[in-house]
Amino acid sequence: MIQLQSESASYHGVKTLHDIDLLVSKGEKLALVGQSGSGKSTLIKLIYEHYPVNTALVPQDYGLVNNLSVYHNVYIGRLEQHTTFYNLVNLIRPKSEQVEIVRAILVGLQLEDYLFRPVGRLSGGQKQRVAVARSLFQQGHLLLADEPVSSVDEQQSRVVLKQMLNGFSTIVLALHDIQLALAFCDRIIGLENGRIVLDSPADELTEKDLLSLY
Amino acid sequence: MKFKVFLSVLFSTLILFSNMSLSASPNTLVFSAIPDQDETRLKQRFGDIAKYLEKQLGVPVKYVPVKSYAAVVTAFRNNQIQLAWFGGLSGVQARLKVPGSQAIAQGVEDPKFHTYIIANHSTGLKASDEFPKGVAGKTFTFGSKGSTSGRLMPQYYIEKNMGDKVDNVFKRVGFSGNHSKTIALVQSGAYEVGAVNFKVWEKEVEEGKVDTSKVSLIWKTPAYPDYQWTIRGDVDKEFGEGFSNKVKAALIGLKDPDLLGRFPRSGFIEAKNSDFDPILETAKSIGIID
Amino acid sequence: MISVYKHSPAWNVSWLFVFLAGFSLFFADIEVISLEPWEELKRLFMGLLAPDWSNLSEIGEAFLQTLAFAILGVAGGSVIGFLLAQIFHWRWIQVSCAFIRAIHELFWALIFLQIFGLHPLTGLLAIGLPYAATFAKVYAEILEEGDRSALQAVSLDASRISTFFYARLPDLWEHFKTYTSYRLECGLRSSAILGFVGLPTLGYTLSSAFMEGHYSVVWALLLLFYLLIATIRYWVRPALLPVYIIAAPFIVANDSTISFDNVQRFFTEDIIPAPIMRGESLSESWQWLSDLLIHQALPGIANTVVLTQIALVASGILTLVFFPLISTHFFKPAGRTIGHVLLVILRTTPEYILAYILLQLWGPSMLPAIVALALHNGAIIGHLIGRYSLEIKLRADASRGLNRYFYELLPRLYGQFLAFLFYRWEIIMRESAILGILGIATLGFYIDSSIQELHFDKAMILIFITALLNVLVDALSRYLRAKLRLKTNVDCRATNDYCTARE
């Protein structure tokens, strides 16, 4: 599914990833853990650059359009699957068949009340869930999510992660919350200073093992 | 630093403005003419007239080009020019605004001036002695808004013959700006019908500038007085007793066919204010002069 | 909870304007009158192939005059505007400035021509007066929004003036400089246009050349004008400015004199309504006034509004077409260069000259005016929006092409777009009125006619009405911007944008 061999990456001229070898098979749920600046986001980007097709993305900064409704922001996930004309009509008059699909996704993320509200008027946590909703709507073989639950509370984090696990077979998550990583993923990659320092099945690890990374 | 520059600029500007004296040497006779045709050549046209007058009058004479009829009247009124080659209407307006000013000379042709109504051939209108009522519903262009032969008289005769305002007679009424432009616009078909000074028309036809297969004369207005030289009443005080008579004599004595061709006239004859009363009456009846 | 999709207020307002413009189209005269418009256009572009520089002394003189009037007008305007900005909190100053601004430079020129005739003061005041009013407002806004923190650090007993010079000005200098140098560019355009009513600037030569169909001369003038504006940052240098300002009066000087009698006469006779001068009865005066209002003011207002509304929406549409041309989100560098050149040409050419050119080609209907206003304003706002679009960072998986345009860029830029468009509304209206001088039946047509017939009393009333209309639209625009919460911030870089949009 994903195969990276001695890859490195630079960010603003500074090398942030070194000699990354990574093999992810279909169906794996993978968590990237490590301090901020350890290279998690860069690795997510790197994977996206290599495998952009059929991949859903939840970037750290969401990239939502504040002036569009929640519905439209979610719908953007499938722009490429429809004709431009269909998209335009939908922009002006939301297509009811699409609205129903989006609504179902929003229900799962406890966002159904905000279907037609402009994203600009949502809280940070709500925006984050909209970004997740887009990826769920988009579907695909692979989900790449960079800190997808950093702004929502514990209880909601679990709801959101569950939805993501249901929606995608293969997942790579950047997560700073060790508990959640251990609870939801089956494989943990630890990053430190741009290098992979840990790669192990989740059930062989305890929180204490991971704390050393922080 | 920049700030000092700013301040120094500020003060030098103020000082310069207060010192900017722009008065002409008091004894220069400045004249102008209505921009009735080919505006790019105004300086050429009248520059030599200035030289001629200078020689005859013994005072410096200067021509200033002006963009509109109204601006000539204003300059005359403001004493920025003392002498002007006016059209019938602008002359009447100027003399109303400057009491004491005198019409002193006019072209030989001016007492019996005409406007030609010209039409593009696509209209199918033919030359006739009767007023061509077929112009109704066509697009129409005057010359300048302040022109006698290009606006006042044609408007008067059209409204008289059609019994309605020009705005209602024609599909569209425009103002080309000057006589040369009127000919060009009717020839190109931008307007179907137009009104033009007969002297300009004849001169341009003679010079081969008009494509008569595309545009031709269809009607000629009855005769009316038009262009004249008008001089301010206070020039005698400024330039010496009898100055306006000297100017008059110089103009009437102008015989150089090349210089006369600039107007274009075959010569100049005496004129007086009352010669232009018919223009005043017409302007009043149309509402241009209250 | 809410399950009916509701469009934003900005969307609704946009459609309201589109419908108004569509409705206006029914009343607009948009016929192409010339029989062979393309023939003429072809001749015009043939002129581009061989610009005629033969009359270099005349062209040079026209440019010197254009430059000198612009420099003096803007310099004078900025000094007076700067002083006025200090007392701009006085209500009557604000109102007077708004009113002076509402009258276009060309109308000012037509007024001053009556007072000072061909004296250079006509041109200086025609530029300087409305510019001073604009400078006063924008300088006051800069002072208002500028950083006040430095002020608090100065001890209280420092005099007001030295406080201002030590604590405020150094901080705000950049803002003033940016805006003032931008206005110099506007001043060049204004100065060029004044030639159309008789000042010896570029417009004089240009309109004469156009009148006679000397298109190769037209192009020589236009190309030189583009060059002048494009190189403005090279020849406008703080160190050179005093030189220019000292030289300029000598360039504009001519032999004309001004007499106080003329000034007095203008105010005590010329602009006093004729029935009052003649001592007519009240009913006769009313008759005179209602004649003027019904036969000139009303049709003039109607046509001005019709033209404005159509041109405004057309400008908006063109903006939306233009901005992607210079945006990295849509085109590669080569494509963007073409876009930049196109937009620079369109926004450098004064709309008056653009309209004049199109009018010569198509005849005097509203069509050339609409096209000219839309091209010029569309290019200005398109340039600004295009630049704003560069600040948007899209996700790595963002859509492309039209999807990107409609789902990613447009929603993000729409508020800014509307704000700029509403800023231009008043300017478009002012231009719509002035284009009447070219023969379209807006207010300018009736004003010009009154002046050509030497009825200055009527002209002044019509100019007054035009100004009121502008003030009204300005107020309406401000109301809508507040209602829709459209803001343009006045930080240093934005000052320039803000100004470009405003004037």
Looking at A67-81, B110-124, C32-46, C339-353, which range is the least confident one? C32-46
- pLDDT above 60: residue A181: yes
Mean pLDDT of A154-161: 92
* Residues of chain B positioned with their CB less than 8 A from the CB of C245: 9, 12-13, 16
Please check whether residues C221 and C355 belong to one and the same domain. Answer: no
Q: Which CATH superfamily is domain A1-54+140-214 in?
A: P-loop containing nucleotide triphosphate hydrolases (3.40.50.300)
Instruction: Look at residues B127, B175, B134 and name the one whose alpha carbon lies nearest to residue B151.
Output: B175
* Residue C41 is assigned to a structural domain of this protein: no
Residue among B2, B22, B93 minimizing CB distance to C253: B22
Asked if C238's CB is within 8 angstroms of B74's CB, the reply is: no
How many other C-beta atoms are found inside a 10 Å radius of the C-beta of residue A199?
13
- A15 confidence band (pLDDT: 50, 70, 90): confident
User: Do C403 and A59 count as a contact with CB atoms less than 8 A apart?
Assistant: no
C214 and C321 within one domain: no
Which of A57, A91, A93 is nearest residue C407 as measured by Cβ atoms? A91
Q: How high is the pLDDT of residue C493?
A: 42
Whether residue C341 lies inside any domain: the answer is yes
How far apart are the C-alpha atoms of C248 and B59, rounded to whole Å? Answer: 30
Question: What's the pLDDT at C157?
Answer: 60
* C391 in reach of chain A (CB within 8 A): no
Distance from CA of B284 to the nearest CA of C (A): 12
Average pLDDT over residues A179-194: 92
* pLDDT top residue among C414 and C149: C414
Whether C399 contacts chain A with CB within 8 A:
yes
Evaluate if residue C391 carries a pLDDT over 50.
Answer: yes
Distances (CA, A) of C166 to A12, A66, C78, C155: 40, 42, 20, 12
Cα angle, residue B247 at apex, residues B246 and B252 outer, rounded to 5° = 100
Q: Do C439 and B174 touch (CB under 8 A)?
A: yes
Taking only the tens place, the pLDDT of each residue in C168-206 is 777 778 888 888 888 998 999 999 999 998 899 999 999
Which residue do the tokens 């000042």 mark? C199
Q: Taking residues C392-397, report their average pLDDT.
A: 89
Kindly state the tokens that stand for C501. Answer: 């949009």
Cα distance between residue B235 and residue C171, in whole Å = 59
Question: Three-state SS across chain A?
Answer: CEEEEEEEEEECCEEEEEEEEEEECCCCEEEEECCCCCCHHHHHHHHHHHCCCCEEEECCCCCCCCCCEHHHHHHHHHHHHCCHHHHHHHHHCCCHHHHHHHHHHHHHCCCHHHCCCEHHHCCHHHHHHHHHHHHHHHCCCEEEEECCCCCCCHHHHHHHHHHHHHHCCEEEEECCCHHHHHHHCCEEEEEECCEEEEEEEHHHCCHHHHHCCC
**C140 pLDDT higher than 70:** yes
> Do B75 and C117 make contact, defined as CB atoms within 8 angstroms?
yes
Query: CB contact, 8 Å: A87 with chain C?
Result: yes
Phi, psi for C112 (deg, rounded to 5): -70, -25
Domains of chain B: 29-110+225-286 (3.40.190.10), 114-220 (3.40.190.10)
C411–A84 CB contact, under 8 Å: no
CB C256 within 8 A of CB B82: no
**Chain C nearest-CA residue for B171:** C33
CATH code of the domain containing C464? 1.10.3720.10
- Residue A11: phi and psi, rounded to 5, are -130, 120
Q: Which domain holds residue C371?
A: 1-30+275-503
C30, C19, C502, C67: CA torsion to nearest 10: 0
- Does the structure show a pLDDT above 70 at B163? yes
Whether residue C488 is predicted with pLDDT greater than 70 in this model: the reply is no
Confidence of residue A48 (pLDDT cuts 50, 70, 90): very high
Question: For C9, which residue in chain A has the nearest alpha carbon?
Answer: A67
Closest-CA residue of C relative to A72 is C407
What percent of chain A has a predicted confidence (pLDDT) above 70?
100
B73–C contact, CB cutoff 8 A? yes
Give CA–CA dist C456/C447, Å, rounded: 9
For residue C236, being part of any structural domain is answered with yes
pLDDT band, very low/low/confident/very high, at B16 (cuts 50, 70, 90): very low
What is the per-residue pLDDT for C122? 92
Banded model confidence at residue A46, pLDDT cuts 50, 70, 90: very high
- pLDDT per position as a tens digit, C310-361: 999 999 999 999 999 999 999 999 999 999 999 999 998 988 989 988 887 7
Whether C73 and C116 share a structural domain = yes
Confidence band for C146, pLDDT divided at 50, 70 and 90: low
List the structure tokens of C133. Answer: 């009013």
pLDDT at B15: 46
A6 touches chain C (CB under 8 A): no
pLDDT above 80: residue A55: yes
Domain ranges of chain A: 1-54+140-214, 64-138
Supply the pLDDT for residue C270: 87
In angstroms, what separates the C-alpha of C1 from chain A's closest C-alpha?
5
Q: Helix C105-116 to helix C456-483 angle, to the nearest 10 degrees?
A: 150
pLDDT in tens, C56-89: 888 899 999 999 999 999 999 999 999 999 899 8
Phi, psi for residue B251 in degrees, rounded to 5:
-70, -45
**Region of A11 on the Ramachandran plot (φ > 0 left; ψ -120 to 50 alpha; else beta):** beta
Q: What distance in Å separates residue C496's CA from the closest CA in chain A?
A: 26
Residue C45 lies in a domain: no
> Is C236 in the same domain as C362?
no
Question: pLDDT tens across C37-62, in order?
Answer: 677 778 888 888 888 888 888 889 99
C92 at interface of A, judged by CB pairs closer than 8 A = no
CB C61 within 8 A of CB C199: no
Q: Are residues C237 and C284 in the same domain?
A: no
Same-domain check for residues C251 and C281: no
Write the DSSP string, C271-322. TS-HHHHTT--HHHHHHHHHHHIIIIIHHHHHHHHHHHHHHHHHHHHHHHHH
Q: What is the pLDDT of residue C500?
A: 59
Range C105-111 average pLDDT: 94
Contact A84 C4 (CB under 8 A): no
Higher pLDDT, B14 or C6: C6
Question: Does residue C295 share a domain with residue C220?
Answer: no
The domain tally of chain C equals 2
Residues of chain B in contact with residue C198, where contact means CB-CB under 8 angstroms, are 66-68, 71
Provide the token pair at B14.
């103020």
List chains adjacent to chain B, taking adjacency as at least 3 C-beta pairs closer than 8 Å.
C
Least confident of A163-177, B237-251, C25-39, C181-195: C25-39
- Is C289 in the same domain as C237? no
Among C118, C120, C173, select the one facing B3 at the smallest CB separation.
C173
Cβ–Cβ gap B67/C114 under 8 Å: no
C-proximal residues of B, 191-230, CB under 8 Å: 191
Same domain, C116 and C62: yes
**What's the mean pLDDT when you consider all of chain B?**
88
Confidence band, pLDDT 50/70/90 cuts, at residue C379: very high
Give C413 to chain A, closest Cα distance, Å: 9
pLDDT of residue B22: 41
- Which of A120-129, B8-17, B192-201, C355-364 shows the lowest mean pLDDT across its residues? B8-17
Q: What is the pLDDT of residue B33?
A: 93
Q: Say whether C114 and B23 touch across the interface (CB within 8 A).
A: no
- Are C394 and C427 in a shared domain? yes
Q: Which of B13-22, C148-157, C214-223 has the lowest mean pLDDT?
A: B13-22
Provide the β-strand partners of residue A143.
Answer: A56, A171
Contact (CB<8Å) C455/B8: no
Same domain, C289 and C247: no
Task: Please name the member of A61, A79, A116 whose beta carbon is closest to the beta carbon of C6.
Answer: A116
User: How does the average pLDDT of chain C come out, rounded?
Assistant: 87
Q: Are residues C74 and C139 in the same domain?
A: yes
Inter-chain CB proximity C5 and A63 less than 8 Å: no
Mean pLDDT value across residues C136-155: 71
**CA distance, residue C170 to nearest chain B CA (Å):** 8
